[in-house]
Amino acid sequence: MTNWLSMLRSHYNFCLRDRIEAYEQVKSPKLGNYSDLKTKAPCCPFTCSISPQSKLGEPFKKSGKKRNAYEMQSSELPFLKQARPWYKNIHSTVLQQNLRRLKTAFQNFFDGRGYPKFKTRQRFKSFSYPPNQVKLELNKIYLPSIGWMRFFKSRNIPDRFR
């Protein structure tokens, strides 16, 4: 679990950096310097700074519609597992939930509740599964890709636990 937390924190911070760079590019485009090759005089051709919100993932769906940042970064997860085989140990839905956490952080930012922050070990201590994937039996819990674990049951768990 400690290894998972470390890898998930790294992935969160990497995707956060990608989204911040995309946001900064949209806010104030950096076009660079252009010059005329014959006279070597500076000039500015008609240019358009296009930022698809992220460098990760394909910006368009097969239907031609534009993907949002979460969808683009989520589509990169299979390539992440190929490039870095140690991420194969982490359940795919946990990686997706990690991106949803980042999506929520940016939604809070756009709603005026503070800029998303990079996570340190002290500020990244949990991961989550989608509903109905975790099973409970007495003092044991089943986590996909980890297996059955014992835990200390300090209080009763509600009947409609999700």
DSSP assignment of 62-118: TTSPBP-HHHHHHHTHHHHHHHSGGGGGS-HHHHHHHHHHHHHHHHHHHTTS-----
What burial letters (b/e) apply to 62-92, b meaning 16+ CB within 10 Å? eeeeebebbbbbbebbeebbeeeeebeebbe
Host H or E run for residue 147? strand 147-150
- At 103, which amino acid appears? K
**Position 43 in a domain:** no
Longest dimension (CA), the chain: 80
Domains contained in the chain, number:
1
SS3 9: helix
Residue 96 has pLDDT above 90, yes or no: yes
**Position 11 in a domain:** yes
- pLDDT tens, residue by residue, 103-148: 999 999 989 998 999 999 999 999 999 888 988 888 899 999 999 9
Written as six digits, the tokens of 45 are: 């051709």
**Position 144 in a domain:** no
Least confident of 3-12, 43-52, 136-145: 43-52
- The boundaries of the domain holding residue 67 are 2-26+50-123
**Position 100 in a domain:** yes
Angle between helices 2-27 and 92-110 (to 10 degrees): 40
The mean pLDDT value of the chain amounts to: 82
